[in-house]
């Protein structure tokens, strides 16, 4: 995964969340739970690290805004 950019956490209320899960469905379900509570820039796919178990997903949260529901 690319490093977290300063702009991603430049102000209070901005956060980067990295999810580690056993499978794609679990990681994407966690992302959906977050999206129900705050505005996010969702990931469109998970990533796998060779030799490591499971998948990873990174999404960006903006707690200052309401979710797009």
- Look at residue 6 and tell me if it is in a domain: no
Residue 56 domain flag: yes
Residue among 48, 14, 17 nearest 30 (CA): 17
Would 2 be classed as within a structural domain? Answer: no
Q: Percentage of the chain surpassing pLDDT 70?
A: 84
Rounded to whole angstroms, what are the CA distances from 32 to 10, 40, 45, 46, 52? 24, 10, 13, 13, 24
Instruction: Return the pLDDT at 3.
Output: 67
Query: With DSSP H G I counted as helix, E B as strand and the rest as coil, what are the percentages for the chain, rounded to 5?
Result: 25, 30, 50
Per-residue pLDDT tens over the stretch 29-57: 999 999 998 899 999 999 999 999 999 99
The boundaries of the domain holding residue 40 are 11-62
First to last CA, the chain: 28
Whether residue 69 lies inside any domain: the answer is no
Q: Does a structural domain hold residue 68?
A: no
| pTM listed for this prediction | 0.79
Q: What is the pLDDT of residue 5?
A: 64
Domains: count for the chain: 1
Task: Tell me whether residue 25 is in a domain.
Answer: yes
Domain membership flag for residue 42: yes
């Amino acid at each position: 995964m690319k490093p977290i950019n300063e702009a991603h956490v430049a102000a209070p209320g901005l956060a980067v969340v990295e999810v580690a899960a056993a499978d794609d469905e679990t990681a994407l379900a966690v992302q959906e739970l977050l999206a129900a509570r705050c505005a996010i820039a969702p990931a469109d796919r998970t990533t796998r690290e060779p030799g490591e178990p499971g998948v990873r997903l990174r999404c960006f949260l903006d707690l200052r805004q309401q979710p797009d529901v």
